[in-house]
Amino acid sequence: MGARVRFTAESGDCRVGVSDDGGSDPAMQGGQGSSQSQRPLAIIPKVREQLRLVSGDLFTPRNVLIGPYHDEKEYYSFPWMEEKKKAVHNLQCLVGSDLADLKSTLAGLRRQVRSCYTHLPDDHYMDRGDDFTLMLLRDGCYLLSFFIDFVKPHAAATDSSNCEGGGREQKVLATKDNTMFRDILYLLENQIPLFVLETILKQYRAHDEPQSALECIATRVERHLQKQLYISKTTRPVPSMSTSSDLLRLLYSYFRRRTQEEADSSLRLREEEQQGRSLTGRWRRATDYSRYADLRFELKGFRPDEEWTILDIQLHGGTMYIPLLRVDSNTWTMLRNLMALEEEEEKRPVTAYCYFMSQLACTAEDVGLLQRAKVLEHFFGSDEQAAQGFNQLCDGMALDIDNLDRNYLKPFWHQLHKRCKKPVNQFKGFFREKYCGTLFHRMVFSIALFFFVTQAMQVVYAALSYHKPPK
């Protein structure tokens, strides 16, 4: 192969240029079989039918279909298929070589990749001919063009004999907007294993290039989540391939809850002793907690260098600190697919968080309260629409709420349950809601209290002067 791809870092993005490399990559030769046997297996399940019946549109692509879990007619006729072909064409033009070696390599991975899809029928349409290999080639090249900027230096001449159109590249419409991120990152059934992308990139890059496709993609995914305020802007280490075997699992790895106090064994034992055998119940509404537990909701503040995610909720006394959640239609898609993915996991922090938020903000009144506390921001036409989304968020989902390993918010529920049963908290919450619920009410109450105190002082002084007249 006459040219290979070399990475160059520019403004935090992965940009790729061509460098001459007469030799072949040793990793693509004799050691290929052993590397495949050691490669972690990516499991890509289908969404349960019960979940699809509730909200099938949240699991369905809008623009681009990836992987074999789609209807044959839709997959080949979807408008974005032409963009996939352009991505393959452009990569071929970039390296100035035909695709025979790459197709042969991907064909060798076919059985391993197919085993990653747990719900493919034996007579799947992509098992005919080379369709499965072409799917891996087109989808893989398109995803690489979405996350990596391929740059062809002027010094690198393209072999026009292997590139139709005299070596001219065709523009790929891989616009990196939220809609495309939704289809590529958020959907459980719209995935291919990341080792396929690594195989394609390894075929063309310089053999001494240390940076992997996972590192480049992780950088873009991390920045996207930071832009949406789902995670902090602190730089994180690149997740391992074992925890990020596809793009949705890569995204999920950023939501894994940080190791905090609740993971300490002594705290766990103390909590279990305090709670005894009491069962965990349903979360109350935000307005109920404010009314019966005298609970205040405040935006969780973090240090600039502190690592956090939207899952990092804390409770201190009568104040619950919650990171800001910005909600749009894509938020429901991401959370629903992450919950569906977590059904294959031992710990389920995202599901526990969704249970909490869906019951906390289930009415327009609750959504308004959380917005005033600046812990929630939505982009719907009304609070009723946002509340309806929260109401339906966990439909069809199941969670062992009494299992602390699965429900990390269980201790908070028991603490708030105890607060709700105390008469003093009920009185304080009622009084604050009735007389200090808004700024106007607080001002009126303060003025009334001022006049009451002055009148009381006048009565006291009048009584004292009557019993003890001045001499």
d(CA 31, CA 26): 7
Bridge-partner residues for 15, per DSSP? Answer: 8, 149
User: What's residue 151's pLDDT?
Assistant: 62
Report residue 281: phi and psi, to 5°. Answer: -110, -165
Domain ranges of the chain: 3-209, 261-428, 438-471
State the residue for tokens 């695709």: 99
Give 427's pLDDT tier (boundaries 50, 70, 90).
Answer: low
Beta bridge partners of 315: 320
Q: Please state the rounded mean pLDDT for residues 442-463.
A: 71
What is the average per-residue pLDDT within 205-216? Answer: 71
Q: What is the pLDDT of residues 336-391, one digit of tens each?
A: 999 999 998 888 999 999 999 999 999 999 999 999 999 999 999 999 999 999 99
Q: In angstroms, how far is the first alpha carbon of the chain from the final one?
A: 114
Write the pLDDT tens digit of every residue in 318-332. 899 999 999 998 999
pLDDT attached to residue 32? 43
Report which DSSP code applies to 150: E
| pLDDT score recorded for residue 155 | 43
Cα 154 to Cα 81: distance, rounded to the nearest angstrom: 29
Contact 254, 222 (CB under 8 A): yes
Tens-digit pLDDT profile for residues 148-206 = 876 655 444 444 445 644 445 555 555 566 778 899 999 999 999 999 999 988 877 65
- Write out pLDDT tens, residues 89-136: 888 887 766 788 889 999 999 999 999 998 999 889 998 888 999 999
CB proximity list for 356: less than 8 A, separation 6 or greater: 283, 313, 409
Q: Considering the chain, what is the average pLDDT of its residues?
A: 79
pLDDT of residue 292 exceeding 50, the answer is yes
- pLDDT exceeds cutoff 80 at 51: yes
Whether pLDDT at 79 is above 80: no
Q: What angle do CA 267, 273, 277 make, to 5 degrees?
A: 130
pLDDT of the residue at 90: 84
Identify which has the larger pLDDT, 69 or 203.
Answer: 69
pLDDT at 428: 61
